[in-house]
């Protein structure tokens, strides 16, 4: 599993997800064989031998089907998904699948580490032996979208993903053991000793977690409108008598620029801009006063 993670984190490789999946499946197979052996479960195919005459052991998919398999449902679902993708890797070349599978690969690695420590002891934990992967650039949302459009997911892999996840419940899809996603928030250290820590684990319920939650839950508005544009949209919606003067009176009456209301913000050039949420609010107001503004 260390080899799988290190390969995925290696700079310059373009076949990372595929190499991770194949290597990780080998790791999981060996881990479950070790567990079955310790528990006294015969993990050989009865009466079957390899070409060289050696005992033929269960592959990972067969291990997962055993009633005694120690893995959680989420971990099993994650591996069943990766096995499906591995079939595609084995039988035809793939490319550009790292973004689509990253959350599942993260869960696969975490699940393995947890299973290793739970079943064999915390001394076998891998977290101290793996480095933090760094990247040279950070991407904005527009750059990210452009990159995804330019590197579309191969159709046959997309079909496998859709077919597999179509049969999952909402609860299974949200299980972090199936796929694990993170939101990274840039932070400035308040204490000198923490200034060089690239990743901080924040406890749930702490003051830091509360601050991050405010950022994560902050409404994202893609559209920003100057006042004249708001008035134009309202007039085009069927209220031609609504003027810029009326707009100014309305936002002052509702104190719409007050921090925390989420109707707008100061734009890039120091001027106030309004969000879609405010446009909706104005339209509701005009609808209620339609005899005045129609």
Per-residue pLDDT of the chain (294 residues; tens, 9 = 90+): 999 988 888 877 778 888 899 999 999 999 999 999 999 999 999 999 988 899 999 999 999 999 999 999 999 999 999 999 898 887 776 666 766 788 888 889 989 999 999 999 988 888 877 765 554 544 455 545 544 444 556 676 777 777 887 878 888 877 877 877 666 566 655 555 555 555 566 666 677 777 766 666 555 546 889 999 999 999 999 999 999 999 999 999 999 998 878 888 887 677 899 998 899 999 999 999 999 999
Asked whether residue 145 falls in the same domain as residue 277, the answer is no
- Domain stops at, among 109, 144, 174: 174
- Domain stops at, among 174, 189, 207: 174
pLDDT of residue 234: 95
101 falls within a domain: yes
CA–CA gap between residue 78 and residue 85 (Å, rounded): 11
193 falls within a domain: no
Positive or negative torsion for Cα 254, 255, 256, 262: negative
pLDDT of residue 147: 44
131 falls within a domain: yes
- pTM for the model: 0.58
101 within 8 A of 17, measured Cβ to Cβ: yes
CA–CA gap between residue 10 and residue 20 (Å, rounded): 11
| Number of domains forming the structure of the chain | 2
Asked whether residue 169 falls in the same domain as residue 234, the answer is no
Count Cα atoms within 13 angstroms, Cβ side, for 109: 24
55 falls within a domain: yes
Give the structural domain span for 160. 2-174
186 falls within a domain: no
Q: Using alpha carbons, list the distances in angstroms from residue 44 to 9, 49, 62, 116, 284.
A: 34, 9, 11, 22, 69
Asked whether residue 66 falls in the same domain as residue 156, the answer is yes
pLDDT of residue 189: 55
Count Cα atoms within 13 angstroms, Cβ side, for 77: 22
- Domain stops at, among 152, 174, 196: 174
Neighbouring CB atoms inside 10 A of 11's CB total 8
- DSSP letter at 154? P
Asked whether residue 152 falls in the same domain as residue 251, the answer is no
53 falls within a domain: yes
pLDDT of residue 31: 97
Q: Using DSSP, how many helices (H) and how many strands (E) does the chain show?
A: 13, 4
DSSP states of 123-136:
GG--GGGSPPP--S
Asked whether residue 30 falls in the same domain as residue 94, the answer is yes
Q: How far is CA 278 from the centre of its chain?
A: 30
210 falls within a domain: no
């Amino acid at each position: 599993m260390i080899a799988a993670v290190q390969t995925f984190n290696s700079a310059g490789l373009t076949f990372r997800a595929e190499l991770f999946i194949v290597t990780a499946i080998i790791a999981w197979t060996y881990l479950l064989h070790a567990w079955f052996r310790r528990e006294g479960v015969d993990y050989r195919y009865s009466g079957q031998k390899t070409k060289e005459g050696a005992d033929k052991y269960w592959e990972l998919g067969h291990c997962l089907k055993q009633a005694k398999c120690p893995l959680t449902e989420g971990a099993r679902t994650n591996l069943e998904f990766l096995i499906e993708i591995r079939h595609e890797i084995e039988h035809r070349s793939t490319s550009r699948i790292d973004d689509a599978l990253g959350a599942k690969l993260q869960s696969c690695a975490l699940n393995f580490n947890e299973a290793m420590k739970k079943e064999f002891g915390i001394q076998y934990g891998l977290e101290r032996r793996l480095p933090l992967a760094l990247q040279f650039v950070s991407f904005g949302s527009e750059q990210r979208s452009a990159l995804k459009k330019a590197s579309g997911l191969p159709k046959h892999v997309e079909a496998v993903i859709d077919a597999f996840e179509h049969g999952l419940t909402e609860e299974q899809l949200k299980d972090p053991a199936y796929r694990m996603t993170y939101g990274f928030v840039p932070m400035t250290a308040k204490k000198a000793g923490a200034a060089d820590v690239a990743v901080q684990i924040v406890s749930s319920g702490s003051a830091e977690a509360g601050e991050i939650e405010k950022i994560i839950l902050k409404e994202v508005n893609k559209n920003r409108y100057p006042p004249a544009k708001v008035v134009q949209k309202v007039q085009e919606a069927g209220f031609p008598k609504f003027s810029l003067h009326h707009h100014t009176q309305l936002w002052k009456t509702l104190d719409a620029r007050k921090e925390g209301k989420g109707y707008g913000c100061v734009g890039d050039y120091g001027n106030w801009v309004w969000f879609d949420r405010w446009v909706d609010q104005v339209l509701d107001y005009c609808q209620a006063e339609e005899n005045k503004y129609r």
